[in-house]
Amino acid sequence: MTAQRAFSVIIMLLAMHLTATTRHVSQHAGSLTGDGSSANPFVHISQAAQIAQPGDTVLVHGGIYRERVVPERGGSAGNPITYLAVPGDTVTIRGSVVWNPQWNSYTSTPGLYFAHLADTLFADTSQKDGPNPFRVILGGSRKSKAVTLGQVFVDGVRLTEVDSIASMDTATWFFDSSGSSLFVSFPSGTGPSNSTVEITNQRRLFAPHKRGLGYITVKGFIFEHCGNQYPASFYSPHGHPQAGMVGTRSGHHWIIEENVIRLAKNIGLDIGTESDGNDLEIYDYPRIRSSSVGWHTVRNNLITNNGSSGIMGYNPRYCRIANNIISGSNYLQMKGNEKAGMKLHGLYYSTIEGNLVVHNNTPGIYLDNRFYATHVSRNIVAFNNAYGMFFELQYTSWSFTRPAVVDNNIIVNNAANGIYSHDVSNLILLHNLIANTKGSDGYGSWAEGFFFRSSGSRDNFQLKNIHAYNNLLLRNQGGALNFPYPNCENDRVDYNLSDYNVASGEDFYRQFYLNPKCGGRDERPWMVWSDVDSAYVDSVPFHEMVYTEIESLTTVTSSAFIAPSWRGARLTLQEWRDYWKRYDQNNDAHSRMTMLSTVDLDSTNWELTIDLDFDPATVGSLPHDSVGTDFNGTPIRQDGTALPGPFQNLGEGSHSYKVWPPAHFPDFEFALPSANRMAPLPPSGNFSSNTVSRTVFGTASLLHSAYLKKGVTYRYFNIYDASGRIRFSYSGDAHQLKATLQKLKLAGGIFMMRALVEKVNQQ
């Protein structure tokens, strides 16, 4: 670059900074003829989005903005376009409208009304399947009775969709498309005359039409209510793309921070290329190559109570997802695999760190179809009704020099495996705590700490170089570790190593498994072809074949020691060690068992207590340069003396850690409506000197458990739903509390309880 050209570039950049403009938006003081100045603001955010230039800030004042914001252009490096809620103001972008139709009562059923739903209410003509989400069929299969993309809210509470009038109960709705009638069964004690009804009329809330816009910052908003689609077969030409309520539309270098993203019909936020083919929008902007998509930062957001997933992304690169709360995902009970607290495909060279991923009706963190050099660290993944973490499909050759690293995570009280993986190579698991995996009706037998298998159907995706070191695997119902059989007639499974781990149980407990999922049935040496069955069948039960290969095996006399055939052969630690020596591998040569060690995570205050009956310094460690610090940032020694698990100051006995929130995490009470924020708790001085304030965040069941916890007495509290409305105020009526919590359990979702708690002296 010549000196003259360099000078010209500097002048251009200075000019951009000098001409950067703050464009004001105010619902209360703005107008359609405003110019965006502080004296004459716009009334819609979309007005500013159409003219904002690189370096500009769109400053949005308090209010509820019922619109989809469509940025016309992006910023540039050093000059992003920033969409900013005025600090201290509650700024809500809501994809619903207040609906005041001519209501009609339906037969003699109390609380059941219907009205004509006019198509003129829906103005987003960008969607190929039409503007009215109530006329669009929900994709995918599900356990719930939801049918459409519509949503109905009464006084801010999301009602449950059902598929017929006959299925209706209190707080449900049904859309009869043949007659364009919307039936609403109002919550008890409410009706059209004393309620505010809102219906979704937007498919997305913040997403460009154009693809590939970059350098956009979105900060401090509440996004809620939209009618977006489940991404069934998004990777196929005719599938449904990943289209979040907030979406980057194949963009790059977005910063999404300190927002509340809640109550989407399906996906809260998407950060990738959306799909391989089909675009739901009529403009058909060209698909952006995945190598140009990503570099996003998603931090300090509350992403909660979304229909299928909190965060999704298809092929983003170089992203950082940090310090977010992700909860309440999949209230629609979708059955397919395209759901999770966060599910990301093709996430290369990225970091997922410090997130609280809890109470999801899905896997917590789910990485699929390649995640080279991605680092998953220091997350709290707990109380999810499925796997804690799920890793699926990683090319063996491509990832050899770019392994994914999973370290220092707290993965506790999940319903299925702590970490489950199939057809993945080059995955390193270090210093994690996986505990209290208890199983459920759907996953009762899949409750190991680690479970790895090969499907046998994908030649490019093998299961090699899984390394699990220095982990605490405590009180997992299904056992500690499950590896696939290493001697199938193929090259799919090899070099899977583990050591310096701690597992629960006596030495004679069979906490280690070899499973038969090592390849196709024709590749398994214990299976033969049967002309009678026209299939491969066992010539000998798998577990019996394994047992005959272990010289140290004690006689198995009880069927309790024999796992189901799909799960494999159960081994003691010594049998496990002896078996792997046959393949010149010293798996778990230094690992040990612990009988009485326990783990407890209190989700009322996010205090983690680990009580060990041994000194962890006696275990030793394998030095590994992939990880330098523990959960709290303490250096991990690389001389073989590091401690197992995520805390390097852990010792024998009981140790407690405050694991959430991180420093500088935003106070999401700004998400509460002003009327509720102005309704304070009574002064604590009205009670004893032992009375303190407390905030509890979780399901109705968890709130009830908090109320019943020994050592404290709840004197007063408010319960808020995901929309920020007070659902219940408690001042001593335990009977009313029980009845209310039961209703909230049936409604599902995540709630917040702000309370005054009196500590009771324990004798």
In this predicted model, what pLDDT tens digit does every residue of 52-85 receive, in sequence order?
999 999 999 999 999 999 999 999 999 999 999 9
d(CA 382, CA 413): 5
Q: Does the pLDDT at position 341 exceed 60? A: yes
pLDDT band at 687 (very low <50, low <70, confident <90, very high): low
Q: Does the pLDDT at position 446 exceed 90? A: no
Percentage of the chain exceeding pLDDT 70: 87
C-alpha dist (Å) from residue 198 to 150, 195, 228: 11, 10, 16
Q: Tell me which H or E stretch contains 726.
A: strand 726-730
Phi then psi for residue 618, to 5 deg, are -85, -5
Long-range contacts of 61-64 (CB under 8 A, 24+ apart): 61/24, 61/25, 61/26, 61/27, 61/28, 61/29, 61/86, 61/89, 61/91, 62/27, 62/28, 62/86, 62/89, 62/90, 62/91, 62/674, 63/26, 63/27, 63/28, 63/91, 63/92, 64/27, 64/92, 64/94
Q: Which two tokens stand for residue 668?
A: 């999401």
Environment class of 294 (CB within 10 Å of its CB; exposed 0-12, middle 13-18, buried 19+): buried
Query: Helix or strand or coil: residue 734?
Result: helix
The least confident of 99-108, 286-295, 505-514, 521-530 is 505-514
pLDDT at 25 (0 to 100)? 97
d(CA 254, CA 498): 39
The least confident of 2-6, 86-90, 503-507 is 2-6
d(CA 722, CA 702): 15
pLDDT at 678 (0 to 100)? 38
Are 616 and 645 spatial neighbours (Cβ–Cβ below 8 Å)? Answer: yes
Q: Which residues contact 137 (CB under 8 A, 6 or more apart)?
A: 147, 148, 149
* 31 vs 505 pLDDT, higher one: 31
Tens-place pLDDT, residues 169-196: 999 999 999 999 999 999 888 899 999 9
Are 384 and 353 spatial neighbours (Cβ–Cβ below 8 Å)? Answer: no
Are 499 and 463 spatial neighbours (Cβ–Cβ below 8 Å)? Answer: no
Q: Does the pLDDT at position 606 exceed 60? A: yes
pLDDT band at 567 (very low <50, low <70, confident <90, very high): low
Calculate the dihedral angle through the C-alpha atoms of 262, 265, 271, 275, rounding to the nearest 10 degrees: 180
d(CA 270, CA 110): 41
pLDDT band at 566 (very low <50, low <70, confident <90, very high): low
**Within 13 Å of residue 150, how many CA atoms lie on the same side as its CB?**
33
* 8-state DSSP, 589: S
Q: Is the alpha carbon torsion for 644, 646, 647, 653 positive or negative?
A: negative
Are 503 and 481 spatial neighbours (Cβ–Cβ below 8 Å)? Answer: yes
* 8-state DSSP, 743: H
Owner of token pair 């509340």: 260
Query: Helix or strand or coil: residue 377?
Result: strand
> How, if at all, do strands 181-185 and 172-176 pair?
antiparallel
pLDDT at 314 (0 to 100)? 95
d(CA 556, CA 169): 54
pLDDT band at 11 (very low <50, low <70, confident <90, very high): very low
d(CA 250, CA 270): 9
Q: Which residues contact 479 (CB under 8 A, 6 or more apart)?
A: 447, 448, 449, 503, 510, 511, 512, 513, 570
pLDDT at 405 (0 to 100)? 96
Are 173 and 144 spatial neighbours (Cβ–Cβ below 8 Å)? Answer: no
The least confident of 438-447, 529-538, 624-633 is 438-447
pLDDT at 16 (0 to 100)? 46
pLDDT at 677 (0 to 100)? 45
Phi then psi for residue 109, to 5 deg, are -75, 120
d(CA 434, CA 599): 9
> How, if at all, do strands 512-515 and 479-484 pair?
parallel
* 560 vs 473 pLDDT, higher one: 473
Q: Does the pLDDT at position 306 exceed 70? A: yes
Tens-place pLDDT, residues 251-305: 999 999 999 999 999 999 999 999 887 788 998 888 888 889 999 999 999 999 9
Q: Does the pLDDT at position 689 exceed 60? A: yes
Percentage of the chain exceeding pLDDT 90: 60
The least confident of 14-18, 292-296, 327-331, 649-653 is 14-18
- Whole-prediction pTM: 0.90
Owner of token pair 């194949």: 250
d(CA 37, CA 30): 10
pLDDT at 649 (0 to 100)? 97
Residues 525-550: b if buried by 16+ CB within 10 A, e if exposed:
ebbeeeeeeeebebeeebbebbbeeb
Q: Which of 382-386, 518-522, 729-733, 755-759 has the highest mean pLDDT?
A: 382-386
Q: Which two tokens stand for residue 639?
A: 């001389």
Closest Cα to residue 205, out of 262, 160, 161?
262
Average pLDDT over residues 550-578: 66
pLDDT at 696 (0 to 100)? 72
Residues shown for the chain: 763
Q: Does the pLDDT at position 132 exceed 90? A: yes
Owner of token pair 């680092």: 375
DSSP states of 313-350 as a string?
EES-BS-EEES-EEE---TT-B-SSS-SSEEEES-BS-
Tens-place pLDDT, residues 134-164: 999 999 988 888 999 999 999 988 999 999 9
CB count within 10 Å of CB 138 equals 25
pLDDT band at 726 (very low <50, low <70, confident <90, very high): confident
Q: Which two tokens stand for residue 165?
A: 């009038």
What is the overall mean pLDDT for the chain?
87
Angle between helices 700-708 and 734-747 (to 10 degrees): 150
Are 275 and 314 spatial neighbours (Cβ–Cβ below 8 Å)? Answer: yes
Closest Cα to residue 546, out of 583, 520, 509, 497?
583
Phi then psi for residue 597, to 5 deg, are -65, 140
Are 722 and 262 spatial neighbours (Cβ–Cβ below 8 Å)? Answer: yes
pLDDT band at 489 (very low <50, low <70, confident <90, very high): confident
d(CA 275, CA 267): 14
Using only C-alpha atoms, the chain has a radius of gyration, in whole angstroms, of: 28
Amino acid at site 166: A
